[in-house]
């Protein structure tokens, strides 16, 4: 699970003994890519070369992937198809057409950008089905996560389980995972078997991460370490972004070392993504995030900024631990938010996001030394650390 975590596990603010150091790795040498400079909510890499705009890349990914997704979902039995159509924003709950938000398409965009970085436009075109498979797996996890976390809002509308019930949400998620593996099994591309094996292994890692995350939520605040939540974040978020990049590389004919480096790039970018996601979960604008302000704190989620704050050894950490040790009371969100910030959780998460992106850019330079060829991946890396929702 931590195969590509080559830097030392960071210490939380003010907590010199809270976190043991992880396996150290060699310092990153100078590369063709500059080190990220802080910017946005968590720092971001240097701007991608001209002509690589994240919004354009994401829109293009949707144009490649949406037809594949719709075709796959259309093959489901009608009862499952209706639930999936609602989840993707294509239909209202009553089955009438909708023009909802189907997500940002970050993971399929990474598949296509990695394929293009190695194999050019031909590599990108060949990987459309694989990109859709990765997006199906991502949505399988969203459906299950919402049930387990009891989240009531996603993409500015009620979550599937609140509309159709737990069984339909779980079973539709299962069906999306099966569709993903079937798409790769039926793909005649020579890289499809290796991609399917990699995606299946990633699903196992995702499930292990979710299981560990669920176990952490039932433990007392003082019993959770920063090293543990970092490991969970890599398994739940870093693994699939790394897999997306590796699958794209496989479809472009990359060698083993290039695939490994792109997986490492995606994992580190995924860690930055999760750090910023957790920051947004506390301090984001509800009108942009689609979730109520303070929802993560009210649910007592042990997100990365929260655990960094809890393990900081500061007076604010003690206040936050006291809040987290008892059930949520209405109106406490602001107090908890202030405690996390005073204990250094927000600053730590933003600094860590910048450091993770620096490592991601280093890993990318190993696989794609030409910054122009890597421009799409760099643009997506910048996007995930500068986003606000």
CATH number at residue 244: 1.10.600.10
Residue 314 forms part of a structural domain: yes
Per-residue pLDDT, 14: 54
Residue 332 forms part of a structural domain: yes
Domain that holds residue 103: 54-386
Per-residue pLDDT in tens (0 to 9) along the chain, 389 residues = 333 333 334 555 654 333 333 333 333 333 333 333 333 333 333 444 445 799 999 999 999 999 999 999 999 999 999 999 999 999 999 999 998 777 899 999 999 999 999 999 999 999 999 999 999 999 999 999 999 989 899 988 999 999 999 999 999 999 999 999 999 999 999 999 999 999 999 999 999 999 999 999 889 998 999 999 999 999 999 999 999 999 999 999 999 999 999 999 999 999 999 999 999 999 988 887 767 778 889 889 999 999 999 999 999 999 999 999 998 888 888 999 999 999 999 999 999 999 999 999 999 999 999 999 999 999 999 998 887 76
Residue 34 forms part of a structural domain: no
Residue 147 to residues 105, 114, 141, 151, 342: CA-CA distances in angstroms?
22, 32, 10, 7, 32
* Confidence (pTM): 0.85
Per-residue pLDDT, 2: 34
Per-residue pLDDT, 387: 74
The CA distance from 31 to 289, in Å, is 36
Residue 18 forms part of a structural domain: no
User: CA Rg, the chain, in Å?
Assistant: 20
Residue 92 forms part of a structural domain: yes
Residue 271 forms part of a structural domain: yes
Residue 7 forms part of a structural domain: no
Per-residue pLDDT, 15: 45
Token pair listed for 219: 């433990």
Per-residue pLDDT, 75: 98
How many residues are there in the chain?
389
Per-residue pLDDT, 218: 87
In total, how many domains does the chain have? 1
Per-residue pLDDT, 191: 98
Residue 262 forms part of a structural domain: yes
Residue 226 main-chain phi, psi, to 5 deg: -65, -35
């Amino acid at each position: 699970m931590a195969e590509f975590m080559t830097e030392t596990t960071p210490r939380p603010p003010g907590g010199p003994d809270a976190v043991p150091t992880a396996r150290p790795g060699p310092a990153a040498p100078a590369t063709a890519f500059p080190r990220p400079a802080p910017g946005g909510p968590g720092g971001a890499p240097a701007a991608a070369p001209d002509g690589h705009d994240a919004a354009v890349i994401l829109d293009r990914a949707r144009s490649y992937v949406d037809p594949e997704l719709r075709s796959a979902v259309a093959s489901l039995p009608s009862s499952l198809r209706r639930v999936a159509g609602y989840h993707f924003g294509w239909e209202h709950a009553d089955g009438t057409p909708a023009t909802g938000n189907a997500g940002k398409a970050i993971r399929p965009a990474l598949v296509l950008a990695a394929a293009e970085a190695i194999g050019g436009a031909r590599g990108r075109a060949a990987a459309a089905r694989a990109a859709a498979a990765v997006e199906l797996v991502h949505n399988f996890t969203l459906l299950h996560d919402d049930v387990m976390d009891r989240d009531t809002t996603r993409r500015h509308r009620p979550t599937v389980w609140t509309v159709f019930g737990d069984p339909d949400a779980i079973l539709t998620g299962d069906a999306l995972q099966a569709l993903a593996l079937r798409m790769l099994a039926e793909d005649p591309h020579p890289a499809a078997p290796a991609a399917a094996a990699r995606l299946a292994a990633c699903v196992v890692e995702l499930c292990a991460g979710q299981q560990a995350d669920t176990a952490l939520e039932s433990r007392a605040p003082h019993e959770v370490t920063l090293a543990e939540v970092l490991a969970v974040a890599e398994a739940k978020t870093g693994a699939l972004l790394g897999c997306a990049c590796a699958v794209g590389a496989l479809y472009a004919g990359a060698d083993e070392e290039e695939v490994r480096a792109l997986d490492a790039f995606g994992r580190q970018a995924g860690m930055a993504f999760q750090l910023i996601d957790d920051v947004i979960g506390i301090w984001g604008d509800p009108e942009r995030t689609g979730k109520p302000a303070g929802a993560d704190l009210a649910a007592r989620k042990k997100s990365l900024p929260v655990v960094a704050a809890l393990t900081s050894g500061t007076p604010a950490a003690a206040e936050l631990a006291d809040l987290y040790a008892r059930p949520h009371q209405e109106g406490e969100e602001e107090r908890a938010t202030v405690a996390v910030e005073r204990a250094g959780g927000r600053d730590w998460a933003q600094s860590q996001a910048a450091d993770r992106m620096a490592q991601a850019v280093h890993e990318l330079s190993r696989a794609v030394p030409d910054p122009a060829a890597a421009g799409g991946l760099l643009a997506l890396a910048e996007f995930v650390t500068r986003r606000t929702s």
